[in-house]
Amino acid sequence: MAREFDIPLFYRSEIISTIKKARKESDRYRKDLSPSSLDLGDIEVRIARHFGFCFGVENAIEIAYRALDENPDKRIFLLSEMIHNPHVNEDLISRGIRFLMRTDGTTLIPFSELKPEDIVIVPAFGTTVEMFKDLESRGIQTQTYNTTCPFVEKVWNRSEQLGQKGYTIIIHGRARHEETRATFSHARSSAPSLVIQDMEEARELGRFISGERPSSELLDHFSGRYSPGFDPDKDLQRIGVVNQTTMLATETHEISEYLKGIMASHFGTLEPGDRFADTRDTLCYATSENQQALYSLLESDGDVAIIVGGYNSSNTSHLVELCERQLPTFYVKDEKEIKGLEEIQHLNSHSGEVITTRDWFPKSRRDGGNGPIRVLISAGASCPDALVDRVVSHLAGLLGREDKLLEALEPYRALLTESN
Spatial contact of 223 and 191, defined as CB atoms under 8 Å apart? no
Residues sharing a CB contact under 8 Å with residue 115, sequence separation 6 or more, in sequence order: 75, 138, 139
What is the rounded (10 degree) CA torsion for 126, 348, 319, 15? 100
Give the residue numbers marked as catalytic: 179
Spatial contact of 221 and 161, defined as CB atoms under 8 Å apart? no
Give the model's pLDDT for residue 10.
Answer: 65
Give the model's pLDDT for residue 296.
Answer: 97
Give the model's pLDDT for residue 273.
Answer: 76
Phi, psi of 315 (to 5 degrees): -65, -35
* CATH code matching the domain that covers 153-283, chosen among 3.40.980.10, 3.40.109.10, 3.40.1010.20, 3.40.1010.10: 3.40.1010.20
Please report the sign of the dihedral spanned by the C-alpha atoms of residue 394, residue 395, residue 396, residue 400: positive
- How many other CB atoms are there within 10 angstroms of residue 200's CB atom? 9
DSSP per-residue codes, 9-76: GGG--HHHHHHHHHHHHH-TT----PPEEEE-SSEEEEE-SS-S--HHHHHHHHHHHHHHHH-TTS-E
H/E stretch holding 261 reads helix 249-267
Give the model's pLDDT for residue 4.
Answer: 65
Distances (CA, A) of 357 to 148, 210, 299, 329, 344: 37, 46, 25, 11, 5
- How many other CB atoms are there within 10 angstroms of residue 395's CB atom? 21
* Distance separating alpha carbons of residues 252 and 246, to the nearest angstrom: 10
Q: Do 9-54+286-419 and 55-137 show the same overall fold?
A: no
* Distance separating alpha carbons of residues 97 and 34, to the nearest angstrom: 40
Top-tier CATH class for 9-54+286-419: alpha beta
DSSP assigned state of 327 = S
Top-tier CATH class for 55-137: alpha beta
Give the model's pLDDT for residue 1.
Answer: 44
Per-residue pLDDT of the chain (420 residues; tens, 9 = 90+): 456 667 676 677 889 999 999 999 999 888 999 999 999 999 999 999 999 888 888 899 999 999 999 999 999 999 988 878 888 889 999 999 999 998 888 999 999 999 999 999 999 999 999 999 999 999 999 999 999 999 999 999 999 999 999 999 999 999 999 999 999 999 999 999 999 999 999 999 999 999 999 999 999 999 999 999 999 999 999 999 999 988 888 898 899 999 999 999 999 976 767 899 977 667 778 888 899 999 999 998 899 999 999 998 888 999 999 999 999 999 999 999 999 999 999 999 899 999 999 999 999 998 777 889 999 999 998 899 999 999 999 999 999 998 899 899 999 999 888 876
Q: Helix 249-267 vs helix 285-299: angle between axes, to the nearest 10 degrees? A: 110
What is the rounded (10 degree) CA torsion for 332, 337, 15, 311? 30
H/E stretch holding 218 reads helix 218-221
Q: Which of 297, 308, 298, 289 is nearest to 393 (CA)?
A: 308
Could you state, in order of their start, the residue ranges of all structural domains in the chain?
A: 9-54+286-419, 55-137, 153-283
* Distance separating alpha carbons of residues 145 and 209, to the nearest angstrom: 42
